[in-house]
Amino acid sequence: MYEHILLPTDGSDASSAAIEHAASLAETLGATVHVLSVADSRNRFESPSGGIAPDVWRESELDRAEKAVEAAADALPDDVAVERVVQEGIPHSVITDYAADTDVDAIIMGTHGRTGIDHYLIGSVAERVVRSSPVPVMTVRADEE
């Protein structure tokens, strides 16, 4: 039933919390884990008066995404098959498109649990994925200290 599991990661603690769930399910079912990180194409800091230039933003996001994929893949057990993927775009759209295009059976992802103004300003990638995913989504909240 679950042969391919999508594990989106941004390298955060919330993403790390989802790794053990994906690992456990993949080990139990012999599934392949597709570790995906999205280099966000939206530079919220670009402006004529200051901020981050588009090429610097893109390189920074690609570097962060590649490191996030490698860290998540390295944290999975050796006996779990892993596909490593870095794509550019708007995170929730890339995640749901990848799920549809590669016929993954489920998505396991972390959630930051943002509320209030942070949720309003930044939004929730996990919430958007849950609402638009073509497959079941398990969200895992990062443990709060």
Decide if pLDDT at 18 tops 50: yes
pTM tops 0.75, yes or no: yes
The mean pLDDT of 48-62, rounded to a whole number, is 74
Number of domains in the chain: 1
DSSP state of 144: P
Strand 81-89 relative to strand 32-40, pairing = parallel
- Predicted confidence at residue 85, as pLDDT, reads 98
Contact 109, 126 (CB under 8 A): yes
Q: What span, in angstroms and rounded, lies between the C-alpha atoms of 127 and 136?
A: 13
The mean pLDDT of 70-82, rounded to a whole number, is 97
Q: Which CATH number fits the domain that encloses residue 91?
A: 3.40.50.620
What tens digit of pLDDT does each residue of 87-137 get?
999 999 999 999 999 989 999 998 875 555 444 444 588 889 999 999 999
Residue 125, SS3? helix
Q: What span, in angstroms and rounded, lies between the C-alpha atoms of 114 and 108?
A: 18
What domain range is 126 assigned to? 4-141
Residue 33 phi/psi, 5-degree rounding, is -105, 125
